[in-house]
Structure 1
Amino acid sequence: MDKETILQIKDLFVDFRTYAGRVKAIRDVSFDLKKGETLAIVGESGSGKSVTTRTLMGLSAKNAEIKGDILFKGKNLTELSENDWSKVRGNEIAMIFQDPMTSLDPTMRIGLQIAEPIMKHEKASKKAALDRALELMKQVGIPNAEEHINDYPHQWSGGMRQRAVIAIALATNPEILIADEPTTALDVTIQAQILQLMKKIQKTSDSSIIFITHDLGVVAGMADRVAVMYAGKIIEYGTVEEIFYNPQHPYTWGLLNSMPTTDTASGSLESIPGTPPDLLNPPKGDAFTPRNQYALDIDLEEEPPFFKVSDSHYAATWLLDDRAPQVTPPDSILKRWDRWATLKGGKR
């Protein structure tokens, strides 16, 4: 049985008006989120991941112009007033930000910061909210929570502060949790603990998660589906298995080849040459063309549409057109394809 679609983004464009011109940060992005699933959005810095999620939270800068639809529970979020947004943000849709030290108020006790959304959205008394905050601190794995509820952020480690930020996001039992690179500032051991915590919380609450990251290693153990972004557009999306073992877009190949695995030979990691394009003047055709060794002549002239790989897997690359010449991807990608064919019965 298909899961209920809880969020739907249709034809989203976000431009920023600047003195230099109009920055086309998000260019015709569409995707959906199902109840209880984790959707990962991956890509390099500047690909549009964080702009997308800030738009979903109603946190766009004043110079932003937004077109398209963001449909949540029968409401188009792009049409909400700031007063209406204050009822949704932090209540039905909550966000875990990248750096917990800048997310927390250094002058306010942590327990009170966790209690604040409960008092605001549920009209609870301060005492009741603090009692709930204490429960949340225990839920996210803060040891000796009773002793630390009155601590200030500077008294905690980075991993503990991130747990506090997660507790704040969970305070009102949101239906959607947006995690914007929540483990970037943490060491590997703490990263694993935070990811395990988020999976546990999702399982018990049946919440939906949008997980923003540039780290495909994190995606492997966290996501159900993956959307790959480049230059303000989604260029490939599918289940996590399809993206990892049957990738079709050369940009996805590059991301996977830059990620170490247990099979990676010493010195074999490769970076993607060049840099992302200037979105003041997005290039004609496929934006990835200047960095793509597999580019075709048509990539310089015409933007590729999405080609269907399977019912759940689509990629925007002319290489999937029936008229395209056959190209041989890197050996590491061929190995992934072979594994896909063996384990999943997939076809190249």
Structure 2
Amino acid sequence: MRKKLLEVKNLKINFKTYAGLVQAVRGVNFELFEGETLAIVGESGSGKSVTSNAIMKLIPQPPGIYEDGEIFFEGRDLIPLSEKEMSLIRGNDIAMIFQDPMTALNPTMRVGRQITEVILKHNKIPHSEAKARAIQLLQLVGIPMPEKRFRQYPHEFSGGMRQRVVIAIALAADPKLLIADEPTTALDVTIQAQILELMKDIQKKRNTAIIFITHDLGVVANVADRVAVMYAGQIIEYGTVNDIFYDPRHPYTWGLLGSMPDLKNDVKEELRTIPGSPPDLIHPPIGDAFAARNEFAMAIDYVKEPPMFQVSDTHYAKTWLLHPNAPKIPVPESISRRIEGYLKEAKGNG
């Protein structure tokens, strides 16, 4: 039986601003097991990065407020821990890969030193042994001539190679959980695929659990085991990759899937977009937060927030369309065709 590594319960994160209190994360629940990849997907401002930063206790207080909830890592609630206690967990047990490798790396330090510093911080070993481990890590993440690269500075690396260095630093203390926050957004499609494949390979070798944060459902198909779709600070659909791609139930998930480009251009329709914009979370809407953008919204969507309906043992969605008395609305045909075309291409590349 797999061991539960992380459990997030009713997490609520607010931010004090001059305009008012922003309710950035509004009651998020999920769990993660050893060796598993959970993708958290949604538009900018949906609460994905705030959720991942909250797990690392990287929310600045103030302006951030842990309003409610618990974050259990190996059965221990992280929220009450002091900064000193969290510093022992960060990097050692939970590590993070950030979006932009140039801001994650120190431009004035050789990359080898940046990796060895992390190793030495968490291990009482000689410097020579730390250096040897750092070179092994550079090799693990696919950097050629690691002994030579060890002595170079970040500006001497390409964008894809810098991101590999960032991954090597994240792996330096052999963490149990790796949080990857939009790790491939700044990279071209070819390098993006290489980095995703690298993360899958590392996960197999080390049994690392991964939380993969992205705005693009397309990159998830061959990476994740389960998917949490976030909107307006809430998880609005949650299930296995097959649940989300083959049986999506929330209209917002339909919109995200429909906006994926068809890689072979077999689908001749225009690329769909989700109309409107996310709501103001200083004043979250009454009812379903997606109602104003949902062409299938019913009267109840504007007055009462839907519960999380259970579709199957692994699949849940927060939409009134799943109520027994709601009209049965299938996935729009144009979106179904786009999903089918995308999955064929993804399988061909997998």
TM category (shorter chain) comes to over 0.9
The C-alpha deviation readout for 1:29-83, integer Å capped at 9, x for no partner, is 0000011110000000110000000001110022111121000112100011000
Partner Cα distance (1:137, 1:72) in 2: 28
Matches within 5 A, 1:1-348: 2-62=1-61, 63-66=63-66, 67-261=68-262, 262=264, 264-334=266-336
1:266 Cα offset (Å): 2.6
- Aligned-residue sequence identity (percent) comes to 60
1:344 maps to: none
Partner-residue secondary structure (3-state), 1:221: coil
Partner Cα distance (1:333, 1:214) in 2: 18
Partner Cα distance (1:29, 1:158) in 2: 33
1:336 Cα offset (Å): 8.4
- Aligned pair in 2 of structure 1 residues 337, 112: CA closer, same or farther (>3 Å)? closer
In structure 2, give the amino acid aligned to 1:55: A
Partner-residue secondary structure (3-state), 2:239: strand
How many positions carry a matched residue from both structures?
338
Partner Cα distance (2:15, 2:127) in 1: 40
Q: Is the 8 A contact 1:244 1:336 kept in 2?
A: no
Q: Which moved more, 1:249-258 or 1:111-120?
A: 111-120
TM-score with structure 2 setting the length: 0.94
Partner-residue secondary structure (3-state), 1:78: coil
Q: Which moved more, 1:55-64 or 1:7-16?
A: 55-64
In structure 2, give the amino acid aligned to 1:282: P
- Aligned pair in 2 of structure 1 residues 94, 337: CA closer, same or farther (>3 Å)? closer
Q: Is the 8 A contact 1:246 1:337 kept in 2?
A: no
Partner-residue secondary structure (3-state), 1:222: coil
Q: Which moved more, 1:158-167 or 1:55-64?
A: 55-64
Partner-residue secondary structure (3-state), 1:32: strand
Q: Is the 8 A contact 1:245 1:336 kept in 2?
A: no
1:214 Cα offset (Å): 1.0
1:335 Cα offset (Å): 5.3
Q: Which runs of 5+ in 1 are unaligned?
A: 340-348
Partner-residue secondary structure (3-state), 2:271: coil
Q: Which runs of 5+ in 2 are unaligned?
A: 342-350
- Aligned pair in 2 of structure 1 residues 181, 337: CA closer, same or farther (>3 Å)? closer
Partner Cα distance (2:167, 2:336) in 1: 39
1:265 Cα offset (Å): 1.6
1:4 Cα offset (Å): 1.7
Q: Is the 8 A contact 1:246 1:336 kept in 2?
A: no
The C-alpha deviation readout for 1:179-207, integer Å capped at 9, x for no partner, is 00100011111111111110000001001
**Superposed structure 1 runs of 4+ greater than 6 Å apart:** 336-339
1:296 Cα offset (Å): 0.7
1:330 Cα offset (Å): 1.2
Partner Cα distance (1:123, 1:183) in 2: 33
Partner Cα distance (1:186, 1:99) in 2: 9
Q: Is the 8 A contact 1:71 1:77 kept in 2?
A: yes
- Aligned pair in 2 of structure 1 residues 313, 336: CA closer, same or farther (>3 Å)? farther
TM-score with structure 1 setting the length: 0.94
Partner Cα distance (1:267, 1:53) in 2: 35
Q: Is the 8 A contact 1:249 1:317 kept in 2?
A: yes
- Aligned pair in 2 of structure 1 residues 320, 32: CA closer, same or farther (>3 Å)? same
Partner Cα distance (1:180, 1:332) in 2: 30
Partner Cα distance (1:74, 1:234) in 2: 22
Q: Is the 8 A contact 2:34 2:207 kept in 1?
A: yes
- Aligned pair in 2 of structure 1 residues 258, 334: CA closer, same or farther (>3 Å)? closer
1:212 Cα offset (Å): 0.4
- Aligned pair in 2 of structure 1 residues 13, 184: CA closer, same or farther (>3 Å)? same
In structure 2, give the amino acid aligned to 1:24: Q
1:346 maps to: none
In structure 2, give the amino acid aligned to 1:255: L
In structure 2, give the amino acid aligned to 1:69: E
Q: Which moved more, 1:117-126 or 1:212-221?
A: 117-126
Partner Cα distance (1:82, 1:286) in 2: 37
The C-alpha deviation readout for 1:153-203, integer Å capped at 9, x for no partner, is 111110000000000000011000000010001111111111111000000
Partner Cα distance (1:94, 1:337) in 2: 33
Partner Cα distance (1:100, 1:314) in 2: 35
Partner Cα distance (1:87, 1:337) in 2: 43
1:268 Cα offset (Å): 2.7
1:128 Cα offset (Å): 1.9
- Aligned pair in 2 of structure 1 residues 255, 69: CA closer, same or farther (>3 Å)? same
Q: Is the 8 A contact 1:8 1:33 kept in 2?
A: yes
